[in-house]
Amino acid sequence: MLQGYFRIYILFQFNFHYIFIIFLLFKPLEVRESNKNEELIKLEKLGYWHQNLTEGNQLIQAINAIEIGRIVTRDIGGSDPERMSAENVLKYVQNIFQSTDIKITVVEGQDNFEKGYPCFAAVNRAANGIEFHFIRL
């Protein structure tokens, strides 16, 4: 899903308004799904200029990494609670990181929480009867 970085070209001097501009161009998950459009932002090209090409490229990579993390966070936290239940968050995160070097380990089940995560076990007791709401860590 998150295959590559945004297409950014060198045109104008960078300032911290750049991150805010990308934030304004964000498309919510539901909009992307309803339009069958996987583009993360409402923009194809955005200009940027830096005196040192190497530093400029490093800065672009850092900003893209930060913004992709923010997009994932907004997708998970900004959706309808039923849309992003624990089970759906797990599927979403596994889908996002499936083609990366990041390894995802999932802890689930009341017995595992009681042994290793007693506070999570206490919270999970409230949803213990409904599998849709079981906690996944």
- Output the tens digit of pLDDT for each of the chain's 137 residues: 444 444 444 434 445 666 777 777 777 777 777 777 666 666 677 676 778 888 878 877 877 888 888 888 888 888 677 788 888 888 989 998 888 888 889 888 888 888 998 888 888 887 777 777 788 88
d(CA 98, CA 100): 6
The pLDDT assigned to 6 comes to 46
Q: Which two tokens stand for residue 23?
A: 């934030």
Q: Where are the domains of the chain?
A: 8-84, 105-137
Do 41 and 26 meet the contact criterion of CB atoms below 8 Å apart? yes
pTM of the model: 0.69
Specify the pLDDT at position 41: 63
CB contact burial 7-33 (16+ within 10 A = b; e otherwise): ebeeeeebeeebeeebeeebbebeebe
Query: Residue 43: what pLDDT?
Result: 67
What pLDDT score does 15 carry?
54
